[in-house]
Amino acid sequence: MNPLSPLSRLLAAPMRPGRVCWIGVRPARREPLVAQAAALDPETGLAGDRYSSRTNRARQVTLIGAEDLAAIASYLGRETVGPELLRRNVVVSGINLLALKGQRIRLGSAVLEVTGECQPCSRMEVILGIGGYNAVRGHGGITARILAGGEARVGDRVARAE
């Protein structure tokens, strides 16, 4: 894409930073998530997460917007949907995660590269009930690879890395 095109300029336009609202790790398959601050390492992933030793680093961290959780709850006729139900690692607010696709972001002191969208799995129908899978479609968040290690805590800033 031509970096001088109007669309390129819009895609590169400044964005208001977001904030980390919740962090959790998945200690084992189908085990409840554990809320905690996170150490992020490019080689091993998110400390304490079951995916930390996987070689495919494109999905080392999953992020979802608090606004997306509210939308999913609304589609299901619920008051709320907790982040642990969707099994995402980090919940952020105040920033459109899909607008960061293919870009580098700073999460606390770590730097991540957004690698794609986090699509729902068939278990959403079991976990959330009838309509769960479709409620999450388009609102499942993003996946990211850790480029530079660091720490992330609730309240930390989330922003495009410059």
Q: Does any domain span residue 72?
A: yes
pLDDT, residue 52, reads 61
Number of domains in the chain: 1
- The three-class DSSP label of residue 90 is strand
- The three-class DSSP label of residue 41 is strand
pLDDT, residue 100, reads 94
> Alpha-carbon distance 39 to 135, whole Å?
31
pLDDT, residue 146, reads 94
- Residue 25's domain comprises 19-147
CATH, residue 119: 2.40.33.20
CB 66 within 8 A of CB 91: yes
Q: Does any domain span residue 158?
A: no
Q: Does any domain span residue 133?
A: yes
**Half-sphere exposure of residue 47: CA atoms within 13 angstroms, side-chain side:** 11
pLDDT exceeds 70 at position 55: no
Q: Does any domain span residue 14?
A: no
Which position has the higher pLDDT, 160 or 37? Answer: 160
For residue range 56-100, list pLDDT tens digits in order: 688 899 999 999 999 999 999 999 999 889 989 999 999 999 999
> Alpha-carbon distance 146 to 3, whole Å?
26
Positive or negative: CA dihedral 114, 10, 160, 153: negative
Token pair for residue 22? 């919740």
Q: Does any domain span residue 124?
A: yes
pLDDT, residue 117, reads 95
Q: Does any domain span residue 130?
A: yes
pLDDT exceeds 70 at position 54: no
Classify residue 3 as exposed, middle or buried by CB count within 10 Å of its CB (0-12, 13-18, 19+). Answer: exposed
Q: Does any domain span residue 143?
A: yes
53 pLDDT band, cuts 50/70/90, is low
Q: What is the DSSP letter of 94?
A: S
Q: Does any domain span residue 162?
A: no
